[in-house]
Amino acid sequence: MVMKAVATRLAGLTAMAAGLFAAGVMVGSDGARAADILLSAAVGEETVQLVQAAPKVMQVVVNDKVVYEDRDGASFAFVNAYNLQGRWLVLLRQSADGGCAARFRVLDLTAAKPTVSLPFGTCSEAPQVAMADRTLTVSMPVIDGKGTDGKRAAAKGTAAWNYQEGMLVRVR
């Protein structure tokens, strides 16, 4: 069983590292494009997909069931998958037009019905992840608005969020 878990984890991480495990376009009987599977990866016992269902509509799909849908034109990417004492979590990076380079969400695959957390982050694209016991901690530099040249100003400290058993809490 340990060998199977390790092999499954490696398969999921290899898919994420490669950036694209399986991609395709589903076409309806009328020839219309239904959806683009942007990424598909095995994580634990689950199959996780990032799907562009329509223009400006992104979905996170687990085992062929939509668990989250964004209709604001955001794009999603896998950051990594984490196993916390048997709980599989996936850190997702969400980006959209409008000045914030990145927000993050945690996809929790452990519950009977997988869930996606509320968005969090400082607009930084540089998350640092730590795991302890049953807690996933994501920290990143605080971005202090825009400088006079229109570019992001220097970071002012660090912000951090803990995700533990379905709860997301900002800790600093």
* Positive/negative CA dihedral, 124, 125, 130, 135: positive
- Looking at residue 80, its pLDDT comes to 95
The pLDDT tens digits of the residues spanning 105-162 come to 999 998 889 999 999 999 998 899 999 988 999 999 997 665 444 555 556 799 999 9
Domain borders along the chain are 2-170
* Dihedral pair phi/psi, residue 17, rounded to 5°: -65, -35
pLDDT over 70 at 15, yes or no: no
**Summary mean pLDDT of the chain:** 79
Cβ atoms of residues 91 and 138 within 8 Å = yes
pTM of the full predicted structure?
0.75
